[in-house]
Amino acid sequence: MSQECTTDDCRNHTSEYLCAQCVSDLQSWIARIPILLVELRVTIARLDHVRPAGGGGGGSKPGSAAPLNLDALQLSENLRAVGSDAKFYAHQEHAAGQAWLIADWVTKAELLVSGPEAEHVNHAAIRAKVQNIAPPMPTRDLTKWLRDHARIHVTSMDIRNWVRRGKLTAVDREPQPTYHPHEVLDAWRDTHVTNMAFSTKS
């Protein structure tokens, strides 16, 4: 029986709980996990090395390395529990929520292991330029446009996650949702800055 994909704002028809496009998006997130697990091991070892005497227990001062160390450990455990085949999740009733969690874990892990941006990007200037020249677009066109013109890698799952979190609202919903590129940039930057603060707190 054909039904709409359960992912927010995705209206593709499917016989499962996730459509082929959402399965493909999820698989791209899952594909990043093996290398992230290796990099998280390095990060955890580094944080253990700089951890203050006493192991960062109840007597440690604010600003110790212990909380970040625990964040890295928890992310590593979460990612280890993720299956390797996105199609497995497509059969599950809560597939959309699981896909959202996996994307969130991968994003936080990437920011945790990468640290601050090496290259300065003037996001305000990019947003101003985009607002003036780019009309609302459906997700598929929007992800490619942002990659080509704003040097930002955004997936359709990112956009649906931001809608779910209330960071983004569709301009039109029929025949398919469209979004202002500059508003997507705002959501991307807000998420990036928030997660960067999460990954660099000390």
DSSP secondary structure of 123-173:
HHHHHHHHHHH---EEHHHHHHHHHHHS-----HHHHHHHHHHTS---SB-
> Of the candidates 168, 175, 166, 173, which has an alpha carbon nearest to the alpha carbon of residue 154?
168
pLDDT digits (tens, 9 = 90+) for 103-131: 888 888 888 887 654 445 555 666 566 66
pLDDT value of position 80: 93
Give the domain ranges of the chain: 3-114, 123-200
pLDDT band at 6 (very low <50, low <70, confident <90, very high): confident
pLDDT digits (tens, 9 = 90+) for 126-178: 656 666 667 888 888 888 887 777 777 788 888 888 888 888 888 887 778 88
* Burial of 34 per CB tally in 10 Å (0-12, 13-18, 19+): exposed
pLDDT value of position 88: 92
Per the listing, tokens 């997936």 go with: 155
Peptide bond into 175 cis (omega under 30): yes
pLDDT band at 48 (very low <50, low <70, confident <90, very high): low
